[in-house]
Every structure is written in C-alpha cells, then in structure tokens.
C-alpha cells in the first residue's frame, strides 16, 4: 500500500519530535562534551599546565553519567580543577557532592566559588568549604590563592556570586600574589564588566571563567530565550572583545526545567604553558 503525502509528513514530524525529545532529555544532558583550549603560548607541543572547568553541576544523585564524568576527569589528569558555582542547589545534597568529590583523585588540586543556587538553596558555605578542603580543595569567596607547580606559579582569584552573594573583585584581589599565570573565577558573567573596569592594569590575567547561563539551556539556533538574571549579554563560549577575555561554560546540570536543547553539557580543558607537575596550595 503506497504511503500518502499526509502520512509521510506526519511520520516525519513524529520522528523529528522523537529525536528532539531524546536529544533534550538524554543526549545533551548526559553525553558531556570535552572542549580544549590553549592559552597564551601553549600548544600541543609544549609542556603545559592543565586546568579543567566544571560548572553548574546541580548535582541531584550519583548516577552513571556522573560516575563517568569523574572517570573522565581522572583520565585527563588535570593539575587543577576549578568549580565555577552551582555545584548543588539545596543543602541536603551536600553529602552527595562530598561523595562525588570522593570519586576524583585527591591529589588533584581544586579551587571553587559559590553560585546563586548555593545561596538560594541555603547551603551552609562553611560546610561546603570543609567538603572541598577534605578533597584537596579551597572555596574562594572574594579571595585569591596561589598554587605552585614545580617552578611555575598560578594565582586563582574567586569572586562571590553576583546574584545571591556580594561579588567584590577589589576585595578578592587584596591578597593576590604576583604569579606566572592568573585566572579569575566568576559565576555570573554579567559581573565581567566590573572585573574589567576594576582589575589593575599591572595584573595580567589569562582569562575569566564563568558559568551560570547553561548556554541558555534551551538554545534555538543561537537564540536563548531563558537566560537567568546575572547573565548580561553573555550566553556561552568565548568573549574576546576586551581584556581579560571571558569563557562562559555551558555547564553540566540543569535547573528549573530538566532539559537541554541546543546547549550540550560540557567540561572545558585549558592549557597554560609551563609544567604539568601536581599542584599544592
């Protein structure tokens, strides 16, 4: 029996809808993309410091994809992992996050900042800091820390959340130590303008790393209709119109709606020239 034009179109639409639903509820959420970027004079041929950015985890359970994420991070053997906010969005999930960090090699240094959901979810930040500390990590709230990688130094400045906290780049830089490299962690990308305006010219910064937007979470051919407050004009990827340049991670988890469309979950790997020996605070 021949297929009518109407049946052909209907079947096509149903198939397309099924693919879109599968993509939104499964593929883009759980098949995490890894993106690599070489900063400064770093190339594939040079000895490099390796940093991994994990953003907007919104951890709800230790699922198979989460275990695979930890396995992937361990396999990449980073010198430092930076968590740019919204690791959890409610206080009762702190033990889950502790379990997740336990899946990652303890000898990998970690630096983190809070996001708006840590505040909105009434997460005890002192308890969160203790969890990070247990796993060789430091929670930075308007603070800076210096790491030593053999003969190379890296300073990390962590800014408090713009929406839920009190972002203050000037306070965060009070204890900045001159280093070979410097990066800034800033959950809400909208605060980038203030960072650029207030950052002393003598401090050379490789980049600002942000999250928060989830890349729009639902991104329709480049249009993101549901950006959260604190996003500003930023959605995802690189913004190099001024210094320091900004990278906005699409993150890993979801909030409000448990779907991703046109905005696949990601971790970003950044390479800085020098050594790749293990870091100690």
Helices assigned H by DSSP within 136-221:
169-172, 192-198
Q: Identify the helix (H) or strand (E) that includes residue 74.
A: helix 64-76
Task: Supply the pLDDT for residue 46.
Answer: 87
Q: Is residue 7 part of a domain?
A: no
Give which of 112, 54, 113, 27 is closest to 252, Cα–Cα. Answer: 54
Cβ pair 113, 216 in contact under 8 A = no
CATH code, domain carrying 268: 3.60.21.10
Q: Is residue 15 part of a domain?
A: no
Q: From the CB of residue 4, how many other CB atoms can be counted at a distance below 10 Å? A: 9
Q: Is residue 207 part of a domain?
A: yes
Task: Supply the pLDDT for residue 260.
Answer: 67
Report the number of distinct structural domains present in the chain: 1
125-129, Cβ contacts within 8 angstroms, sequence gap of 24 or more: 127/94, 128/87, 128/94, 128/97
CA pair distance 69, 52, nearest whole angstrom = 12
Task: Supply the pLDDT for residue 281.
Answer: 54
Give which of 173, 97, 184 is closest to 137, Cα–Cα. Answer: 97
Q: Is residue 25 part of a domain?
A: no
Task: Supply the pLDDT for residue 224.
Answer: 60
Phi, psi of 16 (to 5 degrees): -60, -40
- Per-residue pLDDT 10s for the chain (281 aa) are 444 544 433 333 332 333 333 333 344 446 899 999 999 999 998 899 999 999 999 999 999 999 999 999 999 999 999 999 999 999 999 999 999 999 999 999 999 999 999 999 999 999 999 999 999 999 999 999 999 998 889 999 999 999 999 999 999 999 999 999 999 999 999 999 999 999 999 999 999 999 999 876 677 766 666 778 999 999 999 999 999 999 999 999 887 666 766 778 999 999 999 854 445 55
Q: Is residue 52 part of a domain?
A: yes
Task: Supply the pLDDT for residue 274.
Answer: 82
Q: Is residue 279 part of a domain?
A: no
Q: In terms of residue numbers, what domain contains 183?
A: 31-273
Q: Is residue 105 part of a domain?
A: yes
Largest Cα–Cα distance of the chain, in whole Å? 77
Give which of 173, 167, 205, 170 is closest to 188, Cα–Cα. Answer: 167
Task: Supply the pLDDT for residue 217.
Answer: 60
Q: Is residue 17 part of a domain?
A: no
Asked if the peptide bond before residue 273 counts as cis, ω within 30 degrees of 0, the response is no
């Amino acid at each position: 029996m021949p297929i009518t034009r109407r049946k052909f179109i209907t079947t096509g639409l149903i198939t397309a809808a099924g693919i879109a639903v599968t993509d939104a509820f499964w593929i883009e959420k759980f098949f995490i993309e890894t993106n690599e970027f070489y900063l400064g004079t770093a190339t594939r041929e040079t000895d490099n410091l390796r940093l991994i950015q994990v953003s907007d985890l919104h951890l709800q359970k230790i699922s198979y994809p989460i275990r695979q994420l930890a396995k992937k991070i361990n396999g990449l053997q980073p010198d430092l992992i930076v968590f740019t906010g919204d690791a959890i969005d409610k206080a009762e999930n702190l033990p889950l996050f502790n379990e997740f960090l336990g899946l990652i090699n303890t000898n990998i240094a970690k630096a983190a900042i809070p996001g708006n959901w840590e505040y909105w979810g009434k997460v005890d930040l002192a308890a969160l800091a203790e969890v990070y500390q247990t796993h060789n990590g430091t929670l930075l709230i308007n603070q800076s820390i210096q790491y030593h990688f053999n003969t190379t130094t890296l300073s990390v400045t962590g800014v408090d959340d713009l929406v839920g906290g009190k972002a203050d780049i000037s306070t965060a830089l009070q204890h900045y130590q001159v280093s070979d490299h410097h990066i800034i962690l800033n959950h809400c990308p909208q605060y980038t303008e203030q960072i650029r305006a207030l950052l002393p010219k003598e401090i050379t910064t490789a980049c600002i790393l942000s999250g928060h937007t989830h890349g729009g979470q639902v991104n329709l051919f480049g249009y993101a209709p549901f950006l959260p407050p604190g996003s500003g004009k930023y959605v995802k990827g690189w913004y190099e119109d001024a210094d320091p340049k900004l990278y906005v991670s699409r993150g890993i988890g979801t909030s409000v709606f448990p779907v991703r469309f046109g905005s696949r979950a990601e971790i970003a790997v950044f390479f800085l020239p020098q050594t790749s020996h293990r870091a100690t605070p």
